[in-house]
């Protein structure tokens, strides 16, 4: 089903408590209007606080891998000198297949 919007209804701004307060705040449109103080607040759940603590703990610990080795591999891939040992990859795949019992 489709509806055609023909523009027959004149558009007018929706008045909210904020727009009404702003409209009445100044005596003229050129006068400054005082800002409405924010009333939003946020409270973290226990789970969110736990996740924040975990994130801080992970950021403080050193990585669990050899950064120098990763950098060397990254450089070898970038300059085109890295070569894949197909036999080693195939052997590891067979080893993994056996370990999974497939």
Residue with more model confidence, 58 or 18: 58
Cα–Cα dist 22/35, whole Å = 9
Instruction: Identify the three-state secondary structure at position 94.
Output: helix
Cα–Cα dist 71/77, whole Å = 10
Task: Say what the pTM is.
Answer: 0.32
pLDDT in tens, 55-83: 998 888 877 888 899 999 999 999 999 99
pLDDT at 5 over 70: no
Tell me, what's the pLDDT at 11?
Answer: 62
pLDDT at 87 over 80: yes
Tell me, what's the pLDDT at 58?
Answer: 85
Per the CB < 8 A criterion, the answer to whether 13 and 19 are in contact is: yes
Alpha carbon separation from 84 to 53, 64, 92 (Å, rounded): 40, 24, 13
Residue with more model confidence, 76 or 45: 76
């Amino acid at each position: 089903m489709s509806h055609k919007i023909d523009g027959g209804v004149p558009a007018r701004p929706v008045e909210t408590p904020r727009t009404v307060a702003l409209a009445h705040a100044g005596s003229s449109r050129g006068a400054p209007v005082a800002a409405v103080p924010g009333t939003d607040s946020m409270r973290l759940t226990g789970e969110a606080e736990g996740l924040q603590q975990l994130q801080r703990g992970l950021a403080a610990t050193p990585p669990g891998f050899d950064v120098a080795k990763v950098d060397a591999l990254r450089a070898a891939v970038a300059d085109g000198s890295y070569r894949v040992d197909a036999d080693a990859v195939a052997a590891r795949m067979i080893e993994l297949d056996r370990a999974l019992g497939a």
